Amino acid sequence: MKDIIVKKYSVKQLWKRCEEGLFAIPEIQREFVWDMKKACTLLDSIYRQLPIGSLLIWQTKADRRNLLRHAQKILPEFNCQNRNIWFLIDGQQRLSVLYRTRKGGSVLNYNDKEVDFDHLCFSFDERFDTRFLKIRRPIPKLHIPLIDVFSHNWRYKLKHLSNKKFQEVVKMRQFLSTYEVPVILISTSDLDEVRESFLRINSGGLRISAADRAFTRASRLKLRHLVNELRSNLPKGFSEIDRGTLQFAAALILGERDVGGRAIESALTKAEKIEIQNGRVSIKFGRKWREISECVKNAVDYLCTEIGLPNFDFLPSENMLATLAFFFYTNNRAQPVPSQKKELRKWFWATAVAARYAGKGYRQNILGDVKYFEKLGKNRKGRFSFTDLVALSEIKRTEYMTSSGLSISFFLLLSNREPRYLETGSRIPVGEVASPANRKDKHHIFPRTLLNGNGFNTKQANSLCNICYVVAQENQSIGNKKPVSYLSGYKRRKHFAGVMKSHLIPYNSDGGLWSRNIRKGYKRFVKQRMDMIRKAFEKEAGIKLFRED
């Protein structure tokens, strides 16, 4: 049974309890997720004397410190000499901002974005919607850093202000430090009650994601810490992958055969009930998590070495990592044999090009692949079947800036062909710096303004059929020239044919590339290159991927 007490504490009193190390973040809580904009909004609400919601505290004995999350760095660590612990169930974001407003310093939030409280300032300019702003270089007569306002020698640091501005800061300082925050103190020995409270509350915080719900349900497994540790150690930018994807991989390996947040939450909740023995995580789960981690790492390694992904940005769908990790689990974490590699290659390119893990049929496709991978891994039998062929015209219709599976796959296809410099014929280091979303290293073979001036719209000019990799210097030298003009000087060079092939550009003498009639030439070129791209995709996959419209 829980006892509930509601009290009000001034911000100054909350600061004192922070410094005493009374507050602690339980494993069920999320990391700090706010950014500077939300921090400024909170302070502005206090300045205007508006309500900011209450803090929900689980007040318990210090012997429950095994539930602490030690990775958090935005608030002071819990002081083990305290007899009681105030676990923050709701309000971590607000309390963290209030503490850092006075303390200052730079922290990384949940999304690995820097939030620098040293740049948090009070503005004397009343024209803005809020008086609290992030200012990298404060202007002394216009901005005052809040770490100066709340420092022990604040009067000395503010002595350069006029009397009017000084009094305005004093008023703001008083408003913030004396503002009273409602605090709800819950005393209970039942952790499930606390977890349910966290999932039910909504007092000014952020919407709880499916991943956070799962972390909360499985808090005793310390899943948040395990996932974050695994994620941070993944190479090639895969440390940016969504935590929910790693949860999904774990759920599949733990036996779940459904997709979505509720399925993940269900699988991890079941695992917690089974794997917690005498209040501790079982040795069996420790071993299982090491297996899960190894499978995920093997999947990342396979994608980069066998499929050729230069980095995480070239992964068409994050769920592809989860299902591939499941394959490695069924394959006893061993590297696939040649016959398995052949099927995995079919699966990857078909799933990427056709965007099988997106849209209406994604659930059926994922679960079908899980079933197939179980057979391929355990029995080393079965062929990957792909019948939902992609219309060939999709290559022409897809714009290069989109994040579709086909667009990402196209740039991966080009990257794997090791495209060459037009000037020297040497290899462009695409994988070291490239991203499918980066427009700077992309080139319109027929310049966009040239096409716009000849009756083609922007979408037609931005077609995948008109794009290749090129370095900025070469792109600038090409300008708005016709291909026949800017390529004629390179045509007789020995490396020219190799360069064109590396970019999948049809260069035969009767091709549209050499036409001086832009309208006829571009139409012919698009048709020729579309067919060249199709053949390259299907050769890479070892399976038919496209159908004629």
Count of structural domains, the chain: 3
pLDDT band at 169 (very low <50, low <70, confident <90, very high): very high
406 and 376 fall within a common domain: no
Range with the poorest average pLDDT among 2-6, 123-127, 230-234, 369-373 = 2-6
User: What residues have CB less than 8 Å from 281, skipping those under 6 apart?
Assistant: 220, 221, 222, 275
Structure-model confidence comparison of residues 4 and 322, the more confident one: 322
pLDDT tens for 435-462 read 665 555 788 999 999 999 999 999 999 9
Radius of gyration in angstroms for the set of CA atoms belonging to the chain, rounded to a whole number = 29
251 in any annotated domain: yes
- What integer is the mean pLDDT of 195-210? 49
Q: What is the pLDDT of residue 203?
A: 37
Encode pLDDT of 25-81 as tens digits.
876 566 788 899 999 999 999 999 999 988 888 888 876 666 655 555 788 888 888
Instruction: Reply yes or no on whether the pLDDT at 222 is more than 90.
Output: no
List, in order, residues 6 or more apart from 494 with CB less than 8 Å away.
425
> Do 268 and 328 fall into the same domain?
yes
Does residue 179 share a domain with residue 52?
yes
- Is 205 a member of any domain? no
432 has a pLDDT exceeding 60: no
Token digits of residue 422: 């037009």
For the ranges 84-88, 290-294, 375-379, 404-408, the lowest mean pLDDT is seen at 84-88
3-state SS of 172-189 is HHHHHHHCEEEEEEEECC
Does residue 162 lie in a domain region? yes
| pLDDT of 204 above 60 | no
Please give the mean pLDDT across all residues of the chain. 87
Shared domain check, 522 and 451? yes
Q: What is the share, in percent, of the chain residues with pLDDT greater than 70?
A: 86
pLDDT of residue 534: 98
In a domain, 512, yes or no: yes
Give the model confidence (pLDDT) of 334-380 as tens digits.
999 999 999 999 999 999 999 999 988 899 999 999 999 999 999 98
Residues 50 and 83 in one domain: yes
| Residue-range definition of the domain harbouring residue 13 | 3-200
Looking at residue 190, its pLDDT comes to 65
Q: What is the mean pLDDT of residues 377-396?
A: 95
Q: Can you give the pLDDT at residue 74? A: 86
- The two three-digit tokens of residue 445, written as one number: 């073979």
Confidence check: pLDDT of 125 > 90:
no
Is residue 259 one of the residues assigned to a domain? Answer: yes
Give the three-class secondary structure for 116: strand
Backbone angles phi, psi at 500, to 5 degrees: -60, -45
Assign 132 to helix, strand or coil.
Answer: strand
**Residue 207 above 50 pLDDT?**
no
Q: What is the pLDDT of residues 467-502, one digit of tens each?
A: 998 754 555 667 788 999 989 888 889 999 999 999
92 domain-assigned: yes
The predicted pLDDT at position 206 comes to 40
Burial call 477-494: b when 16+ CB within 10 Å, e when fewer: ebeeebbeebbeeeeeee
Q: Are residues 413 and 368 in the same domain?
A: no
Domain end among 332, 351, 384 = 384
Q: Are residues 10 and 35 part of one domain?
A: yes
* Token output for 306: 């066998």
Question: Which of 73-82, 234-243, 276-285 is predicted least confidently?
Answer: 276-285
The alpha carbon of residue 435 and the mean position of all alpha carbons in its chain are separated, in whole angstroms, by 14
C-alpha span between 212 and 268 (Å, rounded): 12
Same domain, 281 and 298: yes
Six-digit token pair at 384?
A: 């990957």
Q: Are residues 537 and 405 in the same domain?
A: yes
Single-letter amino acid, residue 527 = K
Strands (E) located in 74-166 = 84-90, 106-108, 114-116, 120-123, 132-134, 143-145
290 and 337 both lie in a single domain: yes
* Banded model confidence at residue 168, pLDDT cuts 50, 70, 90: very high
Q: What is the pTM of this model?
A: 0.69
285 plus 139 within the same structural domain = no
pLDDT of residue 473: 52
Q: What integer pLDDT is reported at residue 70 of this predicted model?
A: 54
Question: Which residue among 200, 235, 257 closes a domain?
Answer: 200
Q: Is 158 contained in some domain? A: yes
* pLDDT score of 205 more than 50: no
Q: How confident is the model at residue 297 (pLDDT cuts 50, 70, 90)?
A: very high
Domain boundary residue, one of 367, 384, 401:
384
Say if CB 505 and CB 468 are below 8 A apart.
yes
pLDDT score for 195: 59
> Do 379 and 397 sit in the same domain of this protein?
no
Give the pLDDT of residue 435. 61
pLDDT at 431 over 90: no
What's the mean pLDDT in 86-114? Answer: 88
Residue 171 lies in a domain: yes
